[in-house]
Structure 1
Amino acid sequence: MRYSIGEFASITGVSADTLRLYEKQGIIRPLKDHSNNYRYYYDLDVRSLLVSRLYRSLNIPLQDVSELINGATAQRVQQQILQSKTNLEGQIRRSTLLLNKMNEIQAELEQIEERLYKCRIKQLTARYRLKQTSQDRLLKEPYLKEMVNEWMELLPFTFFCFRIENWNDTPGNHLLKYSWGMTLTQDDLLNLNVGVSDRVEYLPPVRCLSSVIRTSAEDSFSADAFRFMLDELAAKGHKVTGDITGKLLLNEYIQEAQGSYLEINIPF
């Protein structure tokens, strides 16, 4: 029995637009009545249609569906389904990593108020950092352009991290030599299978005194911003033993005034 496109679409539960697309891809081949230019479908066309819909439901691309419908062996069908399965497993893995990172970021933001200007001990894991600024001035090194694009694609796993180099807490030391750069923890770098070059800085694991501060956009970045942390270390007889690092947690706008919440980590 033959059916018009509207009848066939209604019976099979597939839209007329999808039938036209499948015809264009050679998945189904309705017969054309040249007397009226109508296309007619037949009962056996349902087989190709249902199998093609099955393949699409398995996330097999439409172009590959056409190949499978038009002469693929059973082994080729199995290979294509296996490839689709592998792709889906990769997507699930990436989505799981993303969900875990979202939970991590949410927890950090929820703790901002309770951590603000309060100190605690924190163990930092190893990190890899792409230096992008000198003080707050963006660097224009040629190698940075490609690497920054690659690391931007890794958001939200990358984060903006500052590093105060050659720290020396002497009286009156207000001018800091610092830089900012996109950073990945070692765990995220391994999970995402990211390669690193000798242009990427390695920040080793370290025990730190950690706190959160809020700075305004107009404030210059100085040791006074985290002096309370240095005072606490000194009161307990500890000394700074390496570069001070930290990360941008959040930008906030209140009555058009911009402020930033920063996590400060001082190794001791």
Structure 2
Amino acid sequence: MNYKIGQVSKILNIPIDTLRYYEKLDIVHPNKNDKNNYRSYEPWDINFLTECKRLRSLDYSLSDIQNIMHYDNLEQFSKRIEEKQIDYNNKLKHYSLLIKKNEELRRELLNIANDLGQFHFAEQQDSYYLLHRYNYNYEKKDDFNGILEAWLNYLPFIEIIVEMQMNNIMYRAVTNDHAWGFSIKKEYVEAFNIPLSDKVKLIENPRCVTTVISAGDKGSFSLKLLDGALEFIREHGYRLAGNVTGHILARVHESDGYHRYIKVWLPIN
């Protein structure tokens, strides 16, 4: 018995346009009526389409499926299975770390209300960071020798970071110079073998005072947002010991306007 394309679509729950696309890719070859160009599918064709759907559910590309179904011998098919297993393991590692990363962000967002304007002693996790914008000027892409593009491939694990140099902070009444870029924790660099270069800086677990600051809309970021944290440091007998870094936790619209919540770390000694 033969089946029309609409019937096959209902049997396999595959859209008609997709069936035509599979035919275009030479995955399945229904018979065509020379007079009206209507397609006619045999049960054999439906078997191929069922196998195609099964392989798609296993995340094989249509190109792979075409080769598996029409060209591969057993050895070649087995090799594809082994390669797919490696791909699954890589994705498992990726999503396991992504779950951890998302949970960290969830906790930080829940703590914003409690951390805003409050100050705590903490140790910053080892992180690498890469600066690419100074005030409102971006560095030339070619200056990074491909590192910036490589880091952009790992955006789920990358934070948007601000660096405020200690000298500028000391003169924050007359300057607002600061830099923006990306940061990524050392554990993610090691897990994904993310490339580094002499453009990349390392934060090695210094003792810090940490807090959350809130900047508003465009042009509102100011080094003076650190005033409260610097006063807290002085009151407790410490001094600022290096550049301050921070990363954006959220950009949100509150009832009183636009907010950029930024968690900052101030190294102390």
User: TM-score of the superposition, structure 1-length normalised?
Assistant: 0.80
Q: Distance in 1 between matches of 2:77 and 2:199?
A: 45
Residues 60, 80 of structure 1: 8 Å contact kept: no
* Bigger Cα displacement from structure 2, 176-185 vs 73-82: 176-185
- Paired residue for 1:181? 181
Structure 1 segments, 4+ long, off by >6 Å, are none
The letter of the residue matching 2:197 is S
Residues 247, 262 of structure 1: 8 Å contact kept: yes
Deviations 1:163-209 (A, max 9, x none): 23344986x76345532222112122223321011111222221111
Q: Distance in 2 between matches of 1:153 and 1:113?
A: 32
- Paired residue for 2:116? 116
- Paired residue for 2:139? 140
Q: Distance in 2 between matches of 1:151 and 1:11?
A: 45
- Paired residue for 1:85? 85
Q: How many residues align?
A: 265
Please show how residues 38-77 of structure 1 align to structure 2 within 5 Å.
38-77=38-77
Deviations 1:18-43 (A, max 9, x none): 44333333333334454665544434
The letter of the residue matching 1:221 is S
SS at match of 1:91: helix
RMSD: 3.2
Q: Distance in 2 between matches of 1:102 and 1:28?
A: 42
Q: Distance in 2 between matches of 1:216 and 1:12?
A: 53
The letter of the residue matching 1:202 is L
| Structure-2 change in CA distance of 1:40 and 1:123 (3 Å) | same
| Structure-2 change in CA distance of 1:207 and 1:23 (3 Å) | same
Q: Distance in 2 between matches of 1:18 and 1:259?
A: 45
Deviations 1:213-260 (A, max 9, x none): 2244565623x4333333333333223332222223333445785443
| Structure-2 change in CA distance of 1:206 and 1:74 (3 Å) | same
SS at match of 2:75: helix
The letter of the residue matching 1:110 is L
Q: Distance in 2 between matches of 1:181 and 1:23?
A: 47
* Bigger Cα displacement from structure 2, 179-188 vs 234-243: 234-243
SS at match of 2:156: coil
Q: Distance in 1 between matches of 2:17 and 2:260?
A: 51
Higher helix share: 2
Residues 131, 180 of structure 1: 8 Å contact kept: yes
- Paired residue for 2:222? 221
Residues 58, 81 of structure 1: 8 Å contact kept: no
The letter of the residue matching 2:225 is A
* Bigger Cα displacement from structure 2, 43-52 vs 183-192: 43-52
- Paired residue for 1:98? 98
Residues 130, 182 of structure 1: 8 Å contact kept: yes
- Paired residue for 1:260? 260
Deviations 1:6-58 (A, max 9, x none): 55555566555444333333333334454665544434444433333332232
| Structure-2 change in CA distance of 1:80 and 1:231 (3 Å) | same
* Bigger Cα displacement from structure 2, 249-258 vs 60-69: 249-258
Q: Distance in 1 between matches of 2:225 and 2:40?
A: 77
| Structure-2 change in CA distance of 1:40 and 1:261 (3 Å) | closer
